[in-house]
Amino acid sequence: MGIRNDDKPVPASQDLDWDDLNFFLAVAEEKSLNKAAKRLRTTQPTVSKRLIELERRLGATLALRSTGGIQLTEEGRFVAQQAVAMARSVKQIRQEVAMRDHAPAGEVTISCPDALLTYFIAPAVANLHRVHPSIQLVLKSKAGDGEPVSDITIQFHETKRMEDVAIGLGWVHHVAFASRSYLDLYGGPQDIGEAFQHRMLMHTAYIAQAGWKPKQQPLQEILDYAVRTDCGPALVETTASGGGISSMPTYVARVDERLVCLEVGGELARVRFWLVYDRERGQLPRLRETIEWLRRVFDPAANPWFREEFIQPDEFEDAITAGEIKRKR
């Protein structure tokens, strides 16, 4: 039996989880599990699991799945209406709290790719706390399935929820690197085709990023790699220790002096990265100050490796000096 009127109550024995309702609302509005997952910045299986759990709690089928998308049942339409009303209430609560939250204090969660987190955010934390000692940072290199969306996310794509703001922070430029010890033993490739003769290392996430030169991505896909990793600092250390040749952002030349930038291939990829946050929560003083701090951390004027134009690592010092002179004028 379906719900016949808007007055039929939810069984008191079943406690409802607002997160489950929020997941369902995304499904109802997007009419697709995949689109809902992108909106919520999670995975399709996670969205499906939360929907099934909500249906179990309510004892009713809310959505019919098909190859053509999602179709809400009568019960699903009723729950969606109530969820919209609840979302408005949550929004009002957040706005009221934001008006009362005047001091930059409290917890701020930041999700960021591990290399940017390790080499840029972590070293700058002390600077933030000297000015705002009451801001408590939670730094994450990966968000687990089903975890709440972070207050601030730094990512290599512009995908965001409708209620989010995305700010372009800068670009990373990929080039080939090896260590001096590796080059002394094996030499370096004279052209891209010679990559097959060397021990190649790969970051599994890099190749999926938009911005690779047309001829480079197919080559990356067919090379026989000695090491694959999803950890940026691990790739840096493996390369610097003589483990092989890898494609990495130019900024790693500043991270480890053992690394040598190879001329072969030139700029292999140019990938933009973004700072994403919830528009409403971004008005909270602690988030507002943290966002401004992060923009300074990644400021391309002070960090030439994050500029849109490609700058060779051996030209970084000149670019930094030129930037400082320009700012003083």
Q: Which of 56-65, 80-89, 90-99 has the lowest mean pLDDT?
A: 90-99
272: three-class secondary structure by DSSP: strand
- What pLDDT, in 10s, does the model give residues 188-217? 888 777 778 899 999 988 767 776 655 566
For the question of whether the overall pTM of this predicted structure is more than 0.95, the answer is no
Helix or strand holding residue 179 (H, E):
strand 164-179
pLDDT in tens, 92-106: 777 666 555 566 899
- According to DSSP, residue 275 is labeled E
Do residues 248 and 175 make contact, with C-beta atoms less than 8 angstroms apart?
Answer: yes
3-state secondary structure of 228: strand
Set out the domains of the chain in order of their start, with CATH numbers: 18-100 (1.10.10.10), 105-329 (3.40.190.290)
Helix or strand holding residue 150 (H, E):
none
Residue 274's pLDDT is 96
- Strand, coil or helix: 274: strand
Cross-strand pairs, 167: 275
Q: Which of 296, 262, 111 is nearest to 306 (CA)?
A: 296
